[in-house]
Amino acid sequence: LVKMFGFLKDLDKSKGEEYDKVLARIAKYEDITDNMEIEIARYLTHISESEISTQGSERISSMLRIIDNLESIGDSIYQLSLMKQNQQDNKVVLDNQLTAKLSTMYDMVEKSLNIMNSNLHSEYSKIDIDTAENMEHEINHYRDTLRNEHLEAIKSGYYNYEIGTAYSGIYALYEKTADFVINVSEAINKD
């Protein structure tokens, strides 16, 4: 998913045929996350039908929450790519200031994805939930800042409705993506 998220930056740098290839790659990865969720959930459900310990049952529940949120991250990344495509199709251009703010939000979510990835590869008892939660708080705070600035910009007429909708839609979906990311670390931590 970290790699899939990185494709969003590739979209910003691409044009024409290369842009279409990156969009197709994101769609392909999203299909893969959908299929993985189904296959893993089937397998875990099958295992849970057997005689298992309470701890085993709790671990399976945790894994089901993890895969559900991982698939939701893939969906969010795909939705972000569609928003960017819609923005391009409608020739909605964000100024450098708005682009820089979205880039900051992107970097924060990317960092949270890397923390999540590290937690997924750690032993359950050794995950870094504090760093994950701190990053989530930073993202929420930054989203709140952007939202307040956005409302003021709309009131003052700093930018038009189309720009405002594209901008606020993207930062809101970045924050929603980060919610799924923290849910993964929290599901690991509950085990």
Tell me the Ramachandran region of residue 53: left when phi exceeds 0, alpha when psi lies from -120 to 50, beta otherwise: beta
Tally the residues of the chain.
Answer: 191
Separation between Cα atoms, residue 20 and residue 56, nearest integer Å: 44
- What is the pLDDT averaged over residues 58-78? 93
Contact 6, 25 (CB under 8 A): no
- What is the pLDDT averaged over residues 150-172? 94
Residue 125 pLDDT exceeds 80? no
pLDDT at 191: 53
- What is the pLDDT averaged over residues 119-134? 87
Residue 58 pLDDT exceeds 70? yes
126 or 25, higher pLDDT: 25
CA distances from 106 to 6, 34, 173 (A): 9, 23, 10
* pTM for the predicted model, two decimal places: 0.91
Residue 54: which pLDDT band, with cuts at 50, 70 and 90? Answer: confident
Q: What is the pLDDT of residues 94-106, one digit of tens each?
A: 999 999 999 999 9
pLDDT at 51: 84
Residue 70 pLDDT exceeds 80? yes
pLDDT at 165: 94
User: Which of 117, 174, 110, 170 minimizes the C-alpha distance to 140?
Assistant: 174
Express as a percent the part of the chain with pLDDT over 90.
77
Residue 62 pLDDT exceeds 70? yes
Residues with Cβ within 8 Å of residue 112, at least 6 apart in sequence: 132, 135, 136, 139, 178, 181, 182
Separation between Cα atoms, residue 30 and residue 148, nearest integer Å: 32
- What is the pLDDT averaged over residues 73-101? 95
